[in-house]
Amino acid sequence: MEHNWLLYIAAFAVAFGITMFVTPFSKTMSNLFGAIDYPKKRGMHSVPIPRMGGIAIVIGFVITMLLMTLFVYELRDMEFLGFILGGIIIVITGILDDIYNIKARTKLLLQIAAAAVVILSGTRIEFVFWPFVTDVSAISVPLTLIWIIGVTNAVNLIDGLDGLAAGVASICAMALMILCIISGSPLAVVLSAALAGTCLGFLPRNFSPAEIFMGDTGALFLGYVLAVTSIIGVFKFYAMLSVIIVFLALALPIFDTLFAMTRRAINGKPIMGADRGHLHHRLIDAGFSTTKTVVMLYALSIVTGAFAVAIAIADIRALMVVVVLAAALFMMIVVYRRRLVPKVKGEAELEASQDA
Structural domain includes residue 112: yes
In order of 158, 220, 256, 342, the CA distances from 81 in angstroms are 28, 19, 31, 56
Domain membership of residue 267 (yes or no) is no
Average pLDDT, the chain: 82
Residue 190's pLDDT is 94
Is the pLDDT at 166 greater than 50? The verdict is yes
| HSE toward the beta carbon, residue 61, CA cutoff 13 A | 28
Query: DSSP 3-state assignment of 238?
Result: coil
Percentage, residues of the chain above pLDDT 70: 77
Continuous segment of H or E residues that includes residue 105: helix 104-120
**Rounded Cα–Cα distance for residues 274 and 272 (Å):** 7
Percentages helix, strand, coil for the chain, rounded to the nearest 5? 75, 0, 25
Strands 127-128 and 49-50: unpaired
Give the residue numbers spanning the domain of 168.
5-251
Quick check: 199 pLDDT over 90?
A: yes
> What is the number of domains present in the chain?
1
pLDDT at 119: 95
Helix (H, G, I), strand (E, B) or coil at 134: strand
The pLDDT of residue 205 is 94
Q: Is 135 helix (H, G, I), strand (E, B) or coil?
A: strand
CA dist 24 and 6 (Å) reads 29
Domain assignment present for 298: no
**Residue 212 pLDDT more than 70?**
yes
Interval 208-230 mean pLDDT: 93
Residue 98, CA atoms < 13 Å, CB-side half-sphere? 34
pLDDT at 2 over 90: no
Sequence-separated (6 or more) residues with CB below 8 Å from residue 254: 150, 151, 154, 247
Q: Is residue 308 part of a domain?
A: no
* Position 335 in a domain: no
Cα distance between residue 84 and residue 225, in whole Å = 10
134 forms beta bridges with 128
Residue 137, pLDDT score: 75
Task: Indicate whether 187 pLDDT > 90.
Answer: no
Q: Could you give the 3-state DSSP secondary structure of residue 262?
A: helix
Lowest-confidence range among 23-27, 45-49, 238-242, 336-340? 238-242
CA 73 to CA 300: how far, in whole Å?
A: 36
Q: Using CA atoms, how far apart are residues 12 and 194, in angstroms rounded to an integer?
A: 5
pLDDT band at 99 (very low <50, low <70, confident <90, very high): very high
> What pLDDT, on the 0 to 100 scale, is given for residue 355?
52
Whole-number Å distance between alpha carbons of 226 and 343: 40
Rounded to whole angstroms, the Cα distance separating 119 from 146 reads: 11
DSSP string covering 20-87: HHHHHHHHHHHHHHT-EE---TT-S-SS-EE--THHHHHHHHHHHHHHHTTT-GGGGSHHHHHHHHHH
Helix (H) or strand (E) holding 127: strand 127-128
Could you read off the pLDDT of 267-280 as tens digits, one per residue?
777 666 666 666 76
CB-based contact 189:3 (threshold 8 Å): yes
- Provide the residue type at 107 as one letter: K
Residues 208-234 as b or e (16 or more Cβ within 10 Å = b): bebebbbbbbbbbbbbbbbbbbbbbbb
pLDDT greater than 60 at residue 44: yes
Q: Is the model's pLDDT at 3 over the cut of 60?
A: yes
Q: Is residue 263 part of a domain?
A: no
By the 8 A CB rule, do 178 and 8 touch? no
Q: Is residue 226 part of a domain?
A: yes
Quote the pTM value.
0.83
Helix (H) or strand (E) holding 128, with range, is strand 127-128
pLDDT of residue 344: 46
Examine residue 269 and state whether it is found in any structural domain, yes or no. no
Average of pLDDT values for 130-143?
Answer: 72
Query: Over the stretch 274-309, which tens digit does the pLDDT of each residue have?
Result: 666 667 667 777 777 788 888 888 888 888 888 777
Q: Is the peptide bond before 209 cis (omega within 30 degrees of 0)?
A: yes
